[in-house]
A and B are shown apart, each in its own frame.
Chain A
Amino acid sequence: MNKHATSNLKAEKIVGGVATDQRHDSAHKHVSGTAVYIDDMPEPAGTLHGCLGLSAAAHATITRMDLSAVRAASGVVDVLTAKDVPGENDISPTGRHDEPVLADGKVEFFGQPIFCVIAETREQARRATRLAKVEYKELPFVTDIGGLDPRKDKLVTPPLTLKRGDAAAAIKAAPRRLKGKMRVGGQEHFYLEGHIAMAVPGEDQDVTIYSSTQHPSEVQHMVSHALGIPSNAITVEIRRMGGGFGGKETQGNQFAALAAIAAKKHHRAVKIRPDRDDDMIATGKRHDFLVDYEVGFDDEGNILGVDFMFAARCGFSSDLSGPVTDRALFHCDNTYFWPAVHAQSAPLYTNTVSNTAFRGFGGPQGMVGAERVIDEVAFAVGKDPLEIRKKNFYGTSDRNITPYHQTVEDNIIQRIVTELEESACYARRRREISAFNANSRFVKRGLALTPVKFGISFTATHYNQAGALVHVYTDGSVHLNHGGTEMGQGLYLKVAQVVAEEFQIDLDQVKITATTTGKVPNTSATAASSGSDLNGMAAQNGARQIKDRLTDFAAEKYQVPRDQVLFLPNRVRIGNQEIAFADLVKQAYMARIQLSAAGFYKTPKIHWNRDKGEGRPFYYFAYGASCSEVSVDTLTGEYVVERTDILHETGRSLNRAIDLGQIEGGFIQGMGWLTTEELWWDDKGRLRTHAPSTYKIPLASDRPKIFNVTLADWPEASEPTIHRSKAVGEPPFPLGMSVLHALSDAVASVADHRICPRLDAPATPERVLMAIERLKGEAKA
C-alpha cells in the first residue's frame, strides 16, 4: 500500500474504482495466515483468560453454588458471579432489562452463563470451570413452541400485526380456501471464528476492548452499563471477524463485558474465547417459526386473501426478537401481492438460548411461509407452482401495495423470473423430469424455481445512519475509517473503492483501517445488508468535503473558476495544467487547508409507524430467483442437488466479484438452513447439536453438481444509492428456498403430484423420507 510514487499520472482510469472487480483487500493475508484475528494478536504480558460456567438446568432457581473448588484450582485468579458486575447486570440490547451478564439466582435456559472463571491460562480456566458444584430447584420449562398458544402464552416483546383489506372476509368469500401449518427450523451461525473478546485496561476508568463484533458501539454501551462508567472511557476495536452473519450483532456483548469487568478488576488484560461447544450453547441463533396460514383463492390459483400467524421461538429474552419477528411479517408477501392480508407475529418466550440476528433477520422465514402458501394453492388447483407464483406476483403499476402499505416501486421480479426460466430451461427440464420419474422406481427428481424480494433498510429508522472519517496525508495517501465492520463481505474494500473513485486515486492509495469507536462514534450494527449503502455514502461524503476544500483552494491559488478544477486519475487538472494529486495535497497543506473530514449519511424517505403497521420501512428492494433440481432416494430420504441456476441483481454492482461471492455463499448457507442444519433439544432442554460433529452445515460436496450463478447486468437501483448499487448481504440467502421446493416436488411425485407434501424445514433426509411415507399412505387411502 501507499506506493504513491508509482501512481500512473497519465492513466485514463484509476486502478480499483467503483464497478471494477477487485480481490478482497485481505486475500493475500488470508491465504498466508497473516491476516490477524483477535486470537492472533500478541497478548499483553500477564494476560488472563476467562471461561464461562454454564447452567445445567433449563429453568431453575439456584439453591447452592459452591465455587470453592473452582477458586482453589491451579492457575485460577478469580471467579466472577453476578455480584461482581459493578454496574448493571444487564446486556439487553433493546433496554428491556431481561438479559443478565451472569444469571443471578435463577436460570432460564440450559447453558446460561452463571459464573466466569479467570485464570492464568485458558486451559486452566476451562478445567477449573468443571469443578463447580451448583444445585438447582427445577421449575417447569418449555423449549418447543409446538405446544404454546401464540395468542395467550408469554411473549418476550410486543407482537406486530399487519393488515390490509379484510382478509377474513376475503378468505370466506373465496371460491376455495385451505389452512395449514409449517415448521421452519432455526440455524446456528457457525462463523468459523468463534466469539472472542480481549480487554486491555488503561489508566483511570479506561479500557480498550478488541471484540469480534458487528456492532462495536453497542459493545461500548453494554460495557459502559456493566462497568457503570461513561462510554468515553471505553474503546472498542475490530479489524476483522472470521465470519459474523448476524451472530455477532449482539452476542459478543457478554464476552466483552466479562472481559472488561475482569480486566478492570485485576488490572490485567483478559481474553475470553469460548470453546466452540460453549459458543454454540450459550449464544443465540436464527429464530425457528411455526407458521399458521389460511388462504382463500380461486380455481385458477389467484390468491384472494391470506392470514398468517408467525410464532417464533425467541428464547428467554427479547434480544432482537422484536425486529426479527417484525421482519418476518415484512416478508410474508415475498414477491406476491396479497389482495387482502392479515399477518401477526408471536415472539414467544421459551427456555432456550435467546435467539438473535442471522442473515435475513426473520425475512427468510417470512418468505418460506409465503412460498408454502403458493405450494398449497398450486397443489389444490393442480398446477405447476411456478405458474401460481407468476400469477400472484406484484404488479408494477397496480397490485403493488405491501401488507405494510409501502408501494413497491422498483419491481423487476417478472423479468428476473422470465430470464431465469429461459436460461435454466425450466419447461424442458420439467418434461424430462416427469419422464425420468415415470421410469425410476426409487430415485425421484424434483424441480423448483423460487423468487426473492428483500427489503433494504433497518426497520428501526434511526439505525439508518453512518459516519466515516477520511484523512488525506501530505503524500497524497488516504486513511479511511468508517463505522462498518469487516466480516468477510468485502465492505472495507467496497468503501475504499468508493473513496478511490471520489478522489480519483488508485485503490492502493487508500489505507483501510480497523473499525473503532474512537474514530467514528455512535455507529449502527453492520447488519441489514446496509454496510456499503450506509458507510459507502458516509465515506463519499467525507471525501467530498475534502475534495470541495481542495477545489476551492486550487481555484483560488491558480485563479481559475471552480469548474475548471477536475479530479483526473491520480492528478488534478487546474485550468490548463495538470498536477499530481499528491502535489496538490501538499500545496493545500502548506496553505493550511484542513485535509480531514468526518462524513455522514442518513437514508432518506424511510419512515415506519409500528402501531399502525404502516409506512415505508424500506428504501428499496433487491431481487433474485433461483431454480434447483434434486434427486431424492425414496428408500432413505437421502438426496443430492443436481443443478442450481441463479439470477440475482445488486443494481449497478460496486464489485461484481465480491457480489458473486456473496450470492454463491448466501445461497449455500440458505440451502444448509433448509436442508441439513438441524437444531435438536433433548427432554432436559439441552441443545444436543452444539458442535460441527452434530450440527451439519454444507460441505463442498453438498453444493449443486452444476451451479450457474449470474449477476443480472441490467438493473440499477431506482433510488440514488451509492453509485446506484444495491445491497447484497442478505438478499441471496433465501435463494436456498428453491432446494426445499425441489425436494418437495420430488416428494410429491410419489403421489402423482396430487397431494401437497407440506415438507417442513430443515428437510433432512429423515423429514424427506417421512413425507414420502405420509404421501404414499395418503395416496393409497
Chain B
Amino acid sequence: MAKIKIRNEIHFILNGRDVVLSSVAPDATLLDWLRLDRSLRGTKEGCAEGDCGACTVLVGKLSAAGLVYESVNACIRFLGSLDGAHVVTVEHLRGQPGQLHPVQQAMVDFHGSQCGFCTPGFVMSLYGLWMRSLEPSDAAIEKALQGNLCRCTGYEAIVRAAHAISSYGKAAKDPLAAERKAITARLEALRDGARVEIGSAEARLIVPANVDDFANVLEQEPGATIVAGSTDVGLWVTKHMRDISPAVFIGNLDGLCTIAEDKGVISIGAGVTYTEAFSTLSKRIPALGPLFDRIGGEQVRNMGTIGGNIANGSPIGDTPPPLIALGARLTLRKGKKRRTIPLETFFIAYGKQDRQPGEFVEAVHVPVPAKGEKFAVYKITKRRDEDITAALGAFLLTLAKDGTVADVRIAYGGMAATPKRASFVERALLGKPWTEETVETAMAQYARDFTPLTDMRASAEYRALAAKNLLLRFFVETSGTRAPFQVSRNEAA
C-alpha cells in the first residue's frame, strides 16, 4: 500500500474565501467557530442540538453529482468534518448590487419574519431548496423546512415567500450558481489524498485519506470516536460535554458513500446520508420514502447516515426495524477483515452491539422485496415531522397462493431495549389465512413480544395499543381498500 501523505491542517472555503486551520479541536463546532472566531453572527444558536434550524448554513461538497450545496446544522457540525467543503453562511447571500438576494427579498415582502431570530436559518433552508427547485410545491417547501422552527409567524407567510422567490430573480444570476465552476475547481484542488491529523494528547482529530486508511487508523486507535454525520455525536458534545478525542471523521470518504444494487440487494455504504439514499430507496422500496421524509429535518438528513443510525444502536433509530424486516445484512470491517451478519443480531442489548474494538460498519445490504411481497413501515410520533419515534412498526409479508401467510417478518422500534422482531405475533400469523380474524388473534400476541416503557414520548399503554393497531393498519393497506387507512398530510383534502 502506498504511503499515506499526512497533512496537519484542514482546508476549506468559507463564503468564497480559502480557510486553512492548523489548530482545530476535535469537538469544535462550526457554529461556535463562525460566531466566536470569525464574528459571523448572522448564524444563530437556538438549541445546539440540530432541532431548530436557527444555525442553518449551506455546505457545498463534491459528490458524484458534482458540487451540491446542502443545508446543515452548524451547531452539531464539527469543524474537522469540513475539510474540502465550501461553507456558505447568510452573510454570503447577495442579490444584484445594492439589493437583497431573491430569497431574502421575498421573505421581507411577504412578512416572513417577526422577531427575526429564526430567519437567517429559514433563508438558508429556502436558499438550498431554491437551488434545487425553482417552483417548489407546498409539500417540497414543508419538507425543506422540517428542520426549521419558527415560534412567531405560524409559517404561513414563510411558505408564501417560498413560493414567490423565483419572481424576485433568476437562478442563473445567483452568485453560487455563477461561481459554480470556479468553486468546483478550487474544491477539487483541495483534494490532495492526504490524511489530516491535527492535535495531540487529549485533543486529536483525524480525517482518514480513504476507507483503507480509516481501517488502519481505527485498528491503531480502537478507542477513537467515529464521526460520520455527527447528528448523534454532535449532541454528545453540545449537550453532554463528552470527550470525543481522538475523533475520526469519515463523512468525506468516497469509498463509504456508495449505494448500488446487485441481484436484488441494495448495498448502502456506511457513509451514505439519508438524503443520498433517498432517491434509490424510495424508488426501489417505495414504503421507505415517506419514512425517510420523516427522519429528522432536511439538515439532519443531509448529514446523518444510515450507517450511523445503525451503529448508534438506539432502540428508537428509525432505519433498523424496516431493514430488519427486509432481512438486511450488515458488513463490519476491522483492518482487512470483514464479516457480514444479519442486521438483527447486531443489536445485543440496550447500549450493546456486536461490534469489536477497532471494527466499523462498512455497509448494509438490503434485499428489495420480491414481486408480490408486501412491505410497509409506520412511524408514530407526537408531532408528525422531525420527531423521534414513540413506536415504529415494519412489516414484510409473503402470501401463499391460497391466501395464507407464507412468510412474515415484523420488527419494531421504541417497544423494547433494542429494535426487535415480534416473533410471537409472526408465529400467530404464519400459515393462517390473511384475514382480519387472523390479524385480531395475532394482535393479542403483542403483549408477549413487548413490554414497552412509559416516558416523555408516550405511555406504555399507548405504545402497546398503537403498536398492535399498526398490524391492523397493515392488514387494511394490504387488503386493497380504497378508503383511507391512515391520515396523510400530502393527499388532497
**A192:B380 contact, CB within 8 angstroms:** no
Interface contact B152-A696, CB-CB below 8 Å:
no
A35–B384 Cα distance when bound, in Å, is 32
Report Cα–Cα, A33/B93, bound state, in Å: 10
A709: chain B residues at CB < 8 Å are: 156
Instruction: Closest B residue to A671 by CB, please name it.
Output: B154
Contacting residues of chain A (236-276) with chain B, CB-CB under 8 angstroms: 240-245, 275-276
Q: Select one of A28, A31, A668, A682 contacting B154, CB under 8 A.
A: A668
Answer yes or no: B476 CB below 8 A from chain A CBs.
Answer: yes
Q: How far is the CB of A508 from the nearest CB of chain B, in Å?
A: 15
- The residues of A that contact B461 with a CB separation of less than 8 Å are 770
Tell me the minimal C-beta distance from B385 to chain A in angstroms.
Answer: 5
Given contacts A23-B109, A443-B487, A661-B111, are A192 and B100 in contact (CB under 8 A)? no
Of A371-379, A460-468, A633-641, A710-718, which stretch is located at the interface? A633-641
Chain B residues with CB under 8 A of A574: none
- Nearest to A490 among chain B residues (CB) is B114
Residue in chain B with minimal CB distance to A486 = B115
For the complex, give the distance between the alpha carbons of A595 and B474 in Å: 76
Asked if B158 and A192 sit within 8 Å, CB to CB, the answer is no
Contact between chains at A770 and B489 (CB < 8 Å): no
B-side contacts of A191, CB under 8 Å: 115, 117, 151
Pairwise interchain contact A242-B51, C-beta atoms closer than 8 A: no
Instruction: Tell yes or no: B43 within 8 A of A by CB.
Output: yes
Q: In the complex, what's the smallest C-beta–C-beta distance from A648 to chain B, in angstroms? A: 13
- With both beta carbons as reference points, the residue of chain B lying nearest to A194 in the complex is identified as B46
Is chain A's interface secondary structure helix, strand, loop, or mixed overall? Answer: loop
A701 touches B489 (CB 8 A): yes
Interchain nearest-CB distance for A191 vs B (Å): 6
Q: Is B485 a contact partner of A442 (Cβ separation < 8 A)?
A: yes
Residues in A neighbouring B383, C-beta threshold 8 A: 676, 696, 698-699, 702
B384, A642: Cβ atoms under 8 Å? no
Chain B 59-85: CB-based contact to A (< 8 A → 1; otherwise 0): 000000000000000000000000000
Q: Does A488 contact B (CB under 8 A)?
A: yes
Given A192-B151, A699-B155, decide whether A31 and B115 contact each other with a Cβ distance below 8 A: no
Q: Is the Cβ of B493 less than 8 Å from the Cβ of A705?
A: yes
Question: Is there a chain B Cβ closer than 8 Å to A277's Cβ?
Answer: yes
Contacts of A161 in B (CB 8 A): none
The reply to whether the CB of B153 lies closer than 8 angstroms to some CB of chain A is yes
Which stretch of A469-477, A555-563, A685-693, A720-728 is in the interface?
A685-693
Are A488 and B152 in contact, CB atoms less than 8 angstroms apart? yes
What per-residue 1/0 map shows which CB atoms of B244-259 lie under 8 Å from chain A? 0000000000000000
Q: B426 at interface (Cβ–Cβ under 8 A)?
A: no
CB-based contact B114/A665 at 8 Å? yes
The smallest C-beta distance from B94 to any residue of chain A, in angstroms, reads: 9
Stretch at the interface among B142-150, B277-285, B345-353, B413-421: B142-150
Q: Using a Cβ cutoff of 8 Å, how many contacts connect chains A and B?
A: 278
Contact between chains at B115 and A657 (CB < 8 Å): no
Q: Most B CB atoms within 10 A — which of A275, A696, A702?
A: A696
Given contacts A130-B241, A702-B383, contact A635 B466 (CB under 8 A): yes
Contact in complex: A277, B239 (CB < 8 Å): yes
A660 neighbours in B (Cβ, 8 Å): 111
A639-B487, A770-B462 as given contacts; A765 in contact with B382, CB under 8 Å: yes
Interface residues of A in 643-675 (CB under 8 A from B): 643, 657-658, 660-661, 664-669
| B113 interface contact, C-beta 8 A | yes
B111 touches A23 (CB 8 A): yes
A39 and B36 alpha carbons, distance in the complex (Å):
10
In the complex the two chains form, is A26's CB within 8 Å of B116's CB? yes
Question: Quick one: CB contact mask for B107-145 with A, threshold 8 Å, 1 for yes?
Answer: 111011111111110010000000000000000011101
Q: Whole-angstrom distance from the CB of A729 to the nearest CB of chain B?
A: 11
Is B457 an interface residue, CB under 8 A from the partner? yes
> Is the beta-carbon distance between B100 and A31 smaller than 8 angstroms?
yes
Q: Is B21 an interface residue (CB 8 A)?
A: no
Indicate if B220 sits at the interface (CB-CB under 8 A): no
For the complex, is B469 an interface residue (Cβ under 8 Å from A)?
yes
In the complex, whether A426 has a CB less than 8 A from a CB of chain B is: no
Q: With A and B bound together, what is the CA distance between A126 and B237 in angstroms?
A: 12
Q: What 0/1 pattern do residues 182 to 215 of B give for CB contact below 8 A with A?
A: 0000000000000000000000000000000000
Q: B107 contacts which chain A residues (CB < 8 A)?
A: 27, 30-31
Q: A277-B239, A638-B380, A769-B465 are in contact. Are A668 and B155 (CB under 8 A)?
A: yes
The answer on a CB contact under 8 Å between A30 and B113 is yes
A190 and B119 within 8 A (CB)? no
Query: Chain A's nearest CB lies how many Å from the CB of B266?
Result: 28
> Which single member of B49, B384, B390 contacts A276 (CB below 8 Å)?
B49
Question: Does chain A have a CB within 8 A of B52?
Answer: yes
Closest to A636 in B: B466
Decide: A31 and B153 in contact? CB cutoff 8 A.
Answer: no
Within 8 A of A (CB), among B427-442: none
With A242-B44, A699-B383, A703-B155 in contact, is A31–B113 under 8 Å at CB?
A: yes
A:117-163 near B, CB below 8 Å = 123, 126-127, 130
State how many angstroms separate the Cβ of A460 from the closest Cβ of chain B.
26
CB-nearest residue of chain B to A34: B42
Check if A33 sits within 8 Å of B382, measured CB to CB.
no
Q: Does A489 contact B (CB under 8 A)?
A: yes
A11: B residues at CB distance < 8 A: none
Assuming the A-B contacts A32-B104, A276-B48, A666-B154, are A192 and B118 also in contact, with contact meaning beta carbons closer than 8 angstroms in the complex?
yes
What chain B residues lie within 8 Å of A642 (beta carbons)? 493
B145 adjacent to A700 (CB under 8 Å)? yes
User: Is B2 positioned at the interface, with any CB of A under 8 Å from its CB?
Assistant: no
- Given contacts A192-B150, A635-B469, A691-B51, whether A661 and B457 have CB atoms under 8 Å apart is no
Kindly list chain B residues whose C-beta atoms are within 8 Å of the C-beta of A530.
Answer: none
* B156 x A707 contact (CB < 8 A): yes
Chain B 92-110 against A: per-residue CB contact (8 Å), 1 yes, 0 no? 0100000010011101110
Shortest CB-to-CB span from A85 to chain B, Å, is: 28
A81 to chain B, nearest CB (A): 22
B484 beta carbon closer than 8 Å to chain A:
yes
Decide yes or no whether B458 CB sits under 8 A from chain A: yes
Residue in contact with B146 in the complex, picked from A190, A243, A680, A700, CB distance below 8 Å? A700
Query: Is B116 a contact partner of A35 (Cβ separation < 8 A)?
Result: yes
Minimum C-beta distance from B280 to chain A (A): 24
CB distance from B58 to the nearest CB of A (A): 13
* C-alpha spacing A205/B123, complex, angstroms: 43
Q: Is the CB of A701 within 8 A of B113?
A: no
Does the CB pair B108–A28 fall under 8 Å? yes
| Given known A-B contacts A33-B42, A194-B46, A692 and B157 have beta carbons under 8 A apart | no
Which residues of B lie under 8 Å from residue A240 when comparing CB positions? 115-116
The answer to whether A126 and B145 touch (CB under 8 A), given A242-B44, A488-B152, is no
**CB of A40 closer than 8 Å to a CB of B:** yes
**Which A residues touch B54, using CB under 8 A?**
192
Chain A residue contacts of B4, Cβ below 8 A: none
Query: Which residues of chain B are within 8 angstroms of A31 by Cβ–Cβ distance?
Result: 90, 100, 103-105, 107-108, 112-113, 116, 119-120, 123
A693 and B49 CA atoms in complex are apart in Å by: 8
Q: Which residues of B contact A692 (CB under 8 A)?
A: 46-47, 49, 51-52, 149
Q: For the complex, give the distance between the alpha carbons of A665 and B159 in Å.
A: 13
Do B115 and A243 have beta carbons less than 8 Å apart?
yes
- Is the C-beta of A172 less than 8 angstroms from some C-beta in chain B? no
Chain B residues lying within 8 Å of A632, measured Cβ to Cβ, are: 487
- Whether B116 and A30, one on each chain, are in contact in the complex, defined by CB atoms closer than 8 angstroms, is yes
Instruction: Kindly list 6 other residue pairs between chains A and B, CB separation below 8 angstroms, not including A442-B485, A640-B384, A766-B462.
Output: A244-B115, A439-B483, A633-B486, A637-B466, A682-B456, A699-B145
- What are 28 contact pairs spanning A and B, CB under 8 A? A23-B109, A26-B113, A27-B116, A31-B90, A31-B105, A31-B107, A32-B42, A39-B35, A192-B46, A192-B149, A192-B152, A275-B239, A443-B486, A488-B117, A638-B486, A640-B488, A664-B153, A664-B156, A682-B456, A693-B51, A700-B141, A701-B142, A701-B143, A703-B155, A705-B489, A709-B156, A769-B462, A769-B466
Across the A-B interface, the 9 shortest Cβ-Cβ residue pairs:
A33-B42, A242-B117, A488-B115, A30-B116, A668-B154, A488-B114, A692-B51, A696-B383, A31-B104
